[in-house]
Structure 1
């Protein structure tokens, strides 16, 4: 996949944009909220196609993720490597960021260009708590990537034993469910 053509920025604008990306990587949610309130485009991307949301997710800043989502950031916006913010958070193993993304409306089964779903990435790296959360929010363990591999296949290939065990019984959940009022 080739990156789309992007216009060149003058030196001053480039420096300011780099400061913005550094602010997001550092997780400065308050300043980010202020800038978004002033009209900052929430889906701004860097030269690799990483959106502000992707960077906040990758660097483990759940508060910045929430701020970006509240200001209209696209949780499905993949980077130039077909990675989504939710997939990135699953790969990194950051349950708080995964929760923030799901609560903010990120589709749990996003699979851009035949890439890996968040469940597949969590499985590969034996992130059982994230697997549980994704399954509880409707992730489909039967989704396959372009290579035909499911989350279970990928977990087996990576030797992620706890993930293999969990995904071998995808209908079971260890997450306690709160009963609906009037239903026992």
Structure 2
């Protein structure tokens, strides 16, 4: 997952290269497991659901790169676990794909919808034959009913 931030309708097209570089560096913090620096920026008002040019949120990147502490920080700060990236993937789909039980459970506990995405988390668990993920998602579905 790349993190090249580009101006969109949400960001002023007058952003300078230095500003774009700064925004891209925020995604690096989530990808490279820099919880203290990321927490500091969140405390200063960086949007918790900041999204890059691919639709990836900080939470999606942290889940994909299996950074549990970053996931916890972002969820505590109010990150939306159900945001979809441009490929229709959620943070939960990323955690399931990585077969990361802890992060998947954190996301489910935070209210992640296991039915979202172009491929749902259950679809991903079945396709990649991830029994622990299939079990977790089945248990989550049964408690949701």
Please state which band the TM-score falls in when normalised by the shorter chain: 0.7 to 0.9
| Count of residue pairs the alignment pairs up | 134
**Counterpart for residue 125 of structure 2:** 122
Gaps of 5+ in 2: 1-6
Distance 1:33 1:5 in 2: 25
Instruction: Find the residue that maps to 2:137 and give its secondary structure.
Output: helix
Compare CA radii of gyration and give the structure with the larger one.
Answer: 1
2:3 alignment partner in structure 1: none
Asked if the contact 1:70/1:104 (under 8 Å) is kept, the reply is no
**Which residue pairs with 2:137 in the alignment?**
134
- For 1:122 and 1:14, locate their aligned partners in 2 and report how far apart those are by CA, in whole Å: 36
Structure with more contact order per residue of length (Cα contacts < 8 Å, sep ≥ 6)? 2
TM-score by length of 1: 0.68
Unpaired runs of 5+ residues, structure 1, are: 140-184
Q: Are residues 1:26 and 2:29 paired?
A: no
SS of corresponding position for 1:138:
helix
What is the root-mean-square deviation in Å for CA atoms of aligned residues? 1.9
- Which residue does 1:45 correspond to in 2? 51
